[in-house]
Structure 1
Amino acid sequence: MLKIAYSPIYIYELPDGHRFPMEKYELIPAQLLHEGTVSQENFFHPTALNDEEILLTHTAEYLDKLKTQNLSRKEIRAIGFPMSSKLIERGRYIANGTLQCARYAIKHGVAMNIAGGTHHSFADHGEGFCIYNDIAIASNILLKEGVFNKILIVDLDVHQGNGTAKIFENEPRVFTFSLHGAKNYPLRKDQSDLDIGLEDNTTDELYLSTLKDTLPKLIEQVKPQIVFYLSGVDILETDKLGRLSVSIEGCKERDRFVLQTCRDLNLPLCISMGGGYSPAIRHIIEAHANTFRLANDIFF
């Protein structure tokens, strides 16, 4: 059965009452339930990570600043959200959702977090709407437990995963791969193990050919025991922050290829949703829903 991490705490209303893009975390499960792709039985509510688990990835100083709400104005601006204790607590649940999904993926082949993909979070600070780095936290916990000794992170969000790259720059057991917009945020990109930057307005053909030429060779080279997949839909041509020109069908084919490749190779696959900022929320929901539909079809 496809297991999906979701909790009402994922929905967070900002102090000004604004919820975008967080409203997608409510609408995606509603759509999947409405169309019958999943049932309530597919969802599980993650618990919150404890400090010890977070400190395997993030520094004690940074965690203390978050807990005491003592970030500087500059640090708050870099994150992009007005800070609150509820927002910080929310991040603990989302990050543990990814960890628990990894454990489910070992059992069932794939598992998915409605949220996550917070790849701009560094060990000692947050950026770009990212506070805790969920994939890095999950990876470090699994490495410490000895569950795996080789992990591949496939980051296909339109923005380069700078925080993840930096966290694992000296960790040979984790290979970071980012396929992203070359001229998009972040302006200064930390070096992943493999970075491929695409030019503005890249369309389906080049995007998909690049991915299909790269991923199988990379898996053969790295020989991972699990794949963490950041499936951001901000690659869409409709995305106001993306700058690429991939269609919804192209985005769906991207997901199909990643999922089918992992299924064929019997590689556990843990998926975090990442970004999506199209002005019409229906485009975001449809593109994300496709990832869940494909996971259900390919693995179950």
Structure 2
Amino acid sequence: MTDAVLGARRARLPPPPGHKFPLGKYRLLRERLVAEAVAAPDDIAASAPASWELLATVHASSYLERVRTGAMTDREVRVLGLPWSAALVERGRRSTQGTVEAARDALAGSGYGMNLGGGTHHAGRAAGRGYCLFNDLAVAVTELRRSAGFDGRVAVIDCDVHQGDGTAELFADDPSVFTLSIHGGANYPFRRAVSDLDVDLRDGVGDDEYLGVLSSSLDEVGGADLVFYLAAADPWEGDRLGRLALTKAGLAARDGVVLDRAAAWGAAVCVVLAGGYAPDVADTVDINLATARAVAERAAAQRSVRDPAARAE
């Protein structure tokens, strides 16, 4: 598991008082992963910052220069939803690199990799939006193709309650990437890009309806060699920025549906956590922890199949 926040402890990012961005969840999640033996401390690796050269393979150089130097306009800062700071930029770079490394882990190891942050799906080519400074998914795909020789089919399975507009924009002309976004139809963003498959859900959709729509949507994806799964916590019934009504058990079932379908495709899976804005951050951490546990269990099972000695242990 890759932890961008672990690598950026010195770059603390306190949001303004009362802000909805749940910075505290990252430390709490890491602590619970270790305390509940979902991951050993050594299994959680810090990520370095993504280079500006790598970010420039996806984002406009003029935008990156404003981000790097703190010259973002007032409007850009409002649209981003977070005040500019050097700590914000470093954290964004580390989170992006975390997804690159998690995707590499997925392709090279047990078939699974996970970033304990990531999923910054609102960032477009020349703009940050909705707390998303850089688009980690697009950067990861570009880097895998450039440095790892990956040329397989990619599926982005975006289960954040908000449409993945930046990801849709960046992959709009790439037939090797299928973008699926399942989100609240009456929720942010209100000006949207077009994914390969967008599913607009009515307010109040609960577990059974959601899981049925998810399964049928995955049928339309058809398959992939690498899946990026945005396992967001914000479809939860108590989320401040959601409008759906999934329970924690329903969200755990959602994780199982996506992970098992990816396994049936024979796809490697990179999991990122995206949004989650519960009034009590412990609820978001509960949901993220269940996702991490599901990933860890499947990764361990895959290792045991590949390694008879591990199975015997």
SS at match of 2:97: helix
Q: Which residue of 1 aligns with 2:306?
A: none
Task: Provide the TM-score with structure 2 as the length reference.
Answer: 0.90
Name 2:309's counterpart in structure 1.
none
Q: Output the CA distance in 2 between the equivalents of 1:47 and 1:65.
A: 21
Change (3 A) 1:30 1:172: same
- In the alignment, what sits opposite 1:265? 265
1:5·1:46 contact (CA, 8 Å) conserved in 2? yes
Other-structure match for 1:45: 46
Query: Residues 17 and 48 from structure 1, CA distance in 2 versus in 1: closer, same or farther, beyond 3 angstroms?
Result: same
Structure 1 residue ranges without an equivalent (≥5): none
Matches within 5 A, 1:26-105: 26-105=27-106
Tell me, yes or no, if the aligned pair for 2:14 and 2:23 is still in contact at 8 Å.
no
1:167 alignment partner, one of 155, 167, 170: 170
Report the CA distance between 1:225 and its aligned residue: 1.4
Q: Which residue of 2 aligns with 1:111?
A: 113
Equivalent position to 1:206, from 205, 209, 222: 209
The percent of aligned pairs where both chains have the same amino acid is: 34
- Structure 2 distance, partners of 1:62, 1:4, is 27
CA distance in 1, matches of 2:43, 2:151: 26
Quick one: distance in 1 between partners of 2:177 and 2:12?
A: 31
Shift of 1:174: 1.4
| Distance in structure 2 (CA, Å) of the matches to 1:16 and 1:75 | 17
Aligned to 1:4: 2
Which runs of 5 or more structure 2 residues have no equivalent in the other structure?
Answer: 301-313
SS across alignment from 2:245: coil
How many residue pairs get matched?
A: 295
Do the aligned partners of 1:263 and 1:299 also contact (CA within 8 Å) in 2? Answer: no
Cα distance between partner residues in 2 of 1:173 and 1:204: 31
Residue range with higher mean Cα deviation, 15-24 or 124-133: 15-24
Amino acid across the alignment from 1:165: A
Distance in 2 of aligned mates of 1:170 and 1:285: 36
In structure 2, the CA distance between the partners of 1:15 and 1:299, relative to structure 1 (3 Å rule), is closer
Query: 1:181 is matched with which residue: 175, 178, 184?
Result: 184
**Deviation of the 1:172 alpha carbon:** 1.3
Flag the 1:297–1:149 CA change in 2: closer, same or farther, 3 A: closer
Cα 1:187/1:17, change in 2 over 3 Å:
closer
Shift of 1:143: 2.5
Task: Tell me how far apart the structure 1 counterparts of residues 212 and 25 of structure 2 sit (CA, whole Å).
Answer: 29
Aligned position for 1:224: 224
CA distance in 2, matches of 1:16, 1:296: 34
Residues 247-281 of structure 1, C-alpha deviations (whole Å, 9 max, x = no match): 00000000011112222332100011000011022
Give the aligned partner of residue 122 of structure 2.
Answer: 120
Distance 1:38 1:68 in 2: 37
Range with bigger deviation, 17-26 or 281-290: 17-26
Shift of 1:15: 5.9
Per the alignment, residue 298 of structure 2 pairs with 298
**TM-score (ref. length: structure 1):** 0.94
